[in-house]
């Protein structure tokens, strides 16, 4: 039996301080790079979504996996293949990624000075642009405003969102309408409708939205109470305003970089960046406090600590991503889902918050019309797609926990069959109940694993030491997900319930063979009896 102990001093020395040093060093390095680019290359503007979250996420994930994980391996695991240390790794990843996002917001705000100009006509778009502008004289000419419409879906495809982006020229004076305008004021109006609504209902909602937006724009007073503007960076929102500006009679015919889109300041200029600083301190302070609190729970493995102090610790790659006998398919599924998300995010330059429904459909999302046209492969491919980063993280964390418990006692082949049938079965239920929604995610297969786990535990087809833990895990994770699914809009409850039922049926079928082999399995794995 593995000997373990839990002196707080060793946990802090071997794990907590190295975690804190790693997080602070990462944030310092990212902040230094960000500061250097803002200072010496102000015209360099990569896509904000990738720079603020994409790059920090990839780099911090590598740092956690290869620098922090060898120390987290000093802690004891739970029963079976369950790895409680995964939560500590996820907290470290969240602190570093979200902290970098807040740090970028703080540096971008505080490193940028106010550009004082006589009028918007003084802005030279061929020169490095400022972030904040204040004009001594300005005039907004709504007569030459132009608009662009964008649509997307949210809440896992259940809401169709209408976006109206209006670019209004900012001029030096009311009479200044003879020259091409480089500076535009951006206004945004939005509304939504159910994607399950009929085409006529969607059309009526869209027309009503345009009419309301037109009334609001005509009543717009173009007030700027704080007296300054901030310039939109390299974002999809700016792209929409540029598209609108190009339709105006005063549009500059130069490249998109010659279009400057401004919006009224939202915070007192002297206090700019303060909110980002508060969030940064919150992520580092509160996140590290939670990390330390959770570190008190698992015990240290004596032999691992001795080997680590002697410099004989060799495995850096996380156990939960390492295929091995009895745990072969789960890490492959985790890596496959993460790889698909990463490739799709790079290809579409989106996905940190959410992917567009059109992109999800193009990449293999479950969609009634497409499946009805013979594209049955979508029933499985949709299980490898996710609506955004948090959707991916939530599903993979639960899949890792359940897979860690269930793959070894079921066997990789049975586990794979259960996963496959649950994924396809939940997709069939989803496409039947919600044919107009683009459905993605591995949650249907996850609920299939939960349904099977409950049946297998109830029929005593799982090792005795694992049954109560599995039931508690399923009750907590499954209960919370079902509860949020019925409370929050946009959750595909049909896929969840469908996966649960299909998984329970598969669990019943598999239980007969598992009951017969259980004595042999427990004799080979006495640690989980």
Report the distance separating Cα 491 and Cα 421, nearest Å. 21
Percentage helix, strand, coil, to 5, in the chain? 60, 10, 30
Report the distance separating Cα 71 and Cα 357, nearest Å. 41
- Assess whether 112 carries a catalytic annotation: no
DSSP assignments along 123-176, one per residue: --TTSPPPSEEEESS-EE-GGG-EEEEEEEEETTTTEEEEEEEEEEEEESSTT-
Report the distance separating Cα 450 and Cα 502, nearest Å. 10
Phi and psi at residue 412, in whole multiples of 5°? -60, -40
3-state secondary structure of 186: strand
Q: Which of 437, 422, 420, 438 is nearest to 365 (CA)?
A: 438
Alpha-carbon 303 to chain mean position: 38
| H or E element in which residue 236 lies | helix 236-245
Report the distance separating Cα 319 and Cα 315, nearest Å. 9
Q: Which of 163, 443, 511, 523 is catalytic?
A: 443
- Assess whether 104 carries a catalytic annotation: no
Write the CB contacts of 47 (distance below 8 Å, at least 6 apart in sequence).
Answer: 234, 235, 349
Report the distance separating Cα 158 and Cα 459, nearest Å. 38
Q: Which of 163, 386, 391, 496 is catalytic?
A: 496
Q: Which residues are catalytic?
A: 443, 496
């Amino acid at each position: 039996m593995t000997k373990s102990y839990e002196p707080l001093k060793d946990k802090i020395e071997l794990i907590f301080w190295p975690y804190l040093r790693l997080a602070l060093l990462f944030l310092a390095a990212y902040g230094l790079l960000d500061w250097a680019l803002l200072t010496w290359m102000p015209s360099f503007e990569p896509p904000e979504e990738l720079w603020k979250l994409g790059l920090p996420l990839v780099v911090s994930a590598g740092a956690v996996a290869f620098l922090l994980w060898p120390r987290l391996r000093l802690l004891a695991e739970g029963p079976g293949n369950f790895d409680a240390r995964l939560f500590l790794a996820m907290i470290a990843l969240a602190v570093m990624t979200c902290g970098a996002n807040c740090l970028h917001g703080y540096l971008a705000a505080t490193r940028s000075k106010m550009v004082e100009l006589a009028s918007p006509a003084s802005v030279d778009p061929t020169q490095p642009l400022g972030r904040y502008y204040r004009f001594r004289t300005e005039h907004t000419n709504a007569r030459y405003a132009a608009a662009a419409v964008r649509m997307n879906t949210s809440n896992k495809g259940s809401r169709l969102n209408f976006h109206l982006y209006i670019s209004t020229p900012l001029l030096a004076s009311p009479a200044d309408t003879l020259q091409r305008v480089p500076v535009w004021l951006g206004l945004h109006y939005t509304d939504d409708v159910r994607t399950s609504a009929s085409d006529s209902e969607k059309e009526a909602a869209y027309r009503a939205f345009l009419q309301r937006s037109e009334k609001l724009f005509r009543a717009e007073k173009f007030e700027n109470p704080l007296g300054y503007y901030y310039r939109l960076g390299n974002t999809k929102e700016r792209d929409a305003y540029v598209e609108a500006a190009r339709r105006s009679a005063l549009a500059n015919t130069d490249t998109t970089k010659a279009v400057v889109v401004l919006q009224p300041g939202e915070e007192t200029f002297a206090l700019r960046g303060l909110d980002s600083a508060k969030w940064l301190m919150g992520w580092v302070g509160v996140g590290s406090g939670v990390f330390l609190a959770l570190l008190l729970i698992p015990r240290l493995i004596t032999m691992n600590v001795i080997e680590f102090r002697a410099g004989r610790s060799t495995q850096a790659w996380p156990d939960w991503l390492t295929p091995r006998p009895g745990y072969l398919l789960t890490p492959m599924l985790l890596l496959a889902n993460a790889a698909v998300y990463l490739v799709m995010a790079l290809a579409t330059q989106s996905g940190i918050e959410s992917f567009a429904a059109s992109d999800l459909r193009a990449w293999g999302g479950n969609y009634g019309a497409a499946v009805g046209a013979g594209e049955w492969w979508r029933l499985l491919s949709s299980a490898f797609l996710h609506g955004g980063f948090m959707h991916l993280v939530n599903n993979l964390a639960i899949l890792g926990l359940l897979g860690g418990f269930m793959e070894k006692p079921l066997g990789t082949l049975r586990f794979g069959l259960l996963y496959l049938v649950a994924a396809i079965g939940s997709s069939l239920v989803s496409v039947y109940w919600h044919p107009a929604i683009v459905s993605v995610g591995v949650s249907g297969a996850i609920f299939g694993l939960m349904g099977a786990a409950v049946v297998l535990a109830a029929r005593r087809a799982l090792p005795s030491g694992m049954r109560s833990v599995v039931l508690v895990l399923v009750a907590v994770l499954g209960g919370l997900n079902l509860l949020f699914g019925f409370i929050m809009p946009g959750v595909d409850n049909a896929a969840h319930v469908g996966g649960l039922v299909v998984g329970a049926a598969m669990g019943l079928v598999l239980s007969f063979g598992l009951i017969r082999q259980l004595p042999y399995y427990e004799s080979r794995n006495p640690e989980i009896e």
